[in-house]
Chain A
């Protein structure tokens, strides 16, 4: 009894430390960690909606490919301030990126719509007809 409650306390402490480390608390607030670009995936009526934060990217620098159940998002963010400048602070970075995500459903590639607005890319990925569940009549 005593042991288990002690373990609980220690485990909670370990969790708290892990969480604190993951928030970048010990790395300074301006440090970037993780994948780029960050992506959220939502579900809407059986279809998927992929949302990515991509501020300051030109539409023509973005490349989107969909096949079966995978989505590939590639591109480049270019930051160019010109010449004869001095930096006081740099937190934003220009980088090439290339991410491929596996989705839990097959996508109807012909009906995929992508929209880039206010630095956010929204891709609607409708589920393939062949992939949809079918109701079977019981005889």
Chain B
């Protein structure tokens, strides 16, 4: 591969960032997989997702059969009277699923959205917390 090819490659690659959701959806429009961090603290699991452009009332968090499904809808209407001249990313809804183990206290899951970042707090079930056993 010569140098020129590399430059062209790089420029093409710059336009891709989000990965598209590959499953089937009943709603029309593009779906993307939100970038997600999952971290564990002593008391809970924290799931943090980047969902830029999603408003609080258009987010849907659902827990069914130990599968946690997050769905965020984008309002496309502000783009209606805009004419694209240069683009680096595509705009679409967000969706992602996670399996949740029974070590999670599913009744107390908390969701919070701020500045396009969704934070889910999944508290660990009390029985799943480690117990210190005293040695006699």
Check B36 against A92 for contact (C-beta < 8 Å): yes
Check B19 against A54 for contact (C-beta < 8 Å): no
Hey, which chain B residues are within 8 Å of A89, CB to CB?
36-38
Hey, which chain A residues are within 8 Å of B85, CB to CB?
41-43, 48, 104
How far apart sit A56 and B45, CA to CA, in the bound complex (Å)? 19
Chain B positions 78 through 120: 1 when the CB is less than 8 Å from some CB of chain A, otherwise 0: 0101111111110100000000000000000000001111000
Q: A42-B83, A44-B81 are in contact. Are A34 and B14 (CB under 8 A)?
A: yes
Query: Which of A24, A30, A38, A87 contacts B35, CB < 8 Å?
Result: A30
Query: Number of residue pairs across A and B with beta carbons under 8 Å?
Result: 130
Check A119 against B117 for contact (C-beta < 8 Å): yes
Check B50 against A119 for contact (C-beta < 8 Å): yes
User: Does A57 interact with chain B (Cβ within 8 Å)?
Assistant: yes
Check B52 against A55 for contact (C-beta < 8 Å): yes
Q: Which of A80-95 contact B (CB under 8 A)?
A: 81-82, 84-92
Beta-carbon nearest neighbor of A88 in chain B: B38
Check B84 against A35 for contact (C-beta < 8 Å): no
Check A34 against B41 for contact (C-beta < 8 Å): no
Check A38 against B88 for contact (C-beta < 8 Å): yes
User: Does A138 interact with chain B (Cβ within 8 Å)?
Assistant: no
Hey, which chain B residues are within 8 Å of A116, CB to CB?
115
User: Does B16 interact with chain A (Cβ within 8 Å)?
Assistant: yes
Tell me the A residues contacting B by CB distance below 8 Å.
Answer: 18, 22-24, 29-30, 32-35, 38-44, 48-49, 53-58, 79, 81-82, 84-92, 104, 116, 118-120
Tell me the B residues contacting A by CB distance below 8 Å.
Answer: 12-17, 19-20, 33, 35-42, 45-46, 48, 50-55, 79, 81-89, 91, 114-117
Could you name 11 residue pairs across A and B whose Cβ atoms are closer than 8 Å? A24-B16, A33-B13, A33-B14, A34-B88, A40-B86, A48-B85, A53-B116, A56-B115, A87-B38, A87-B40, A120-B52
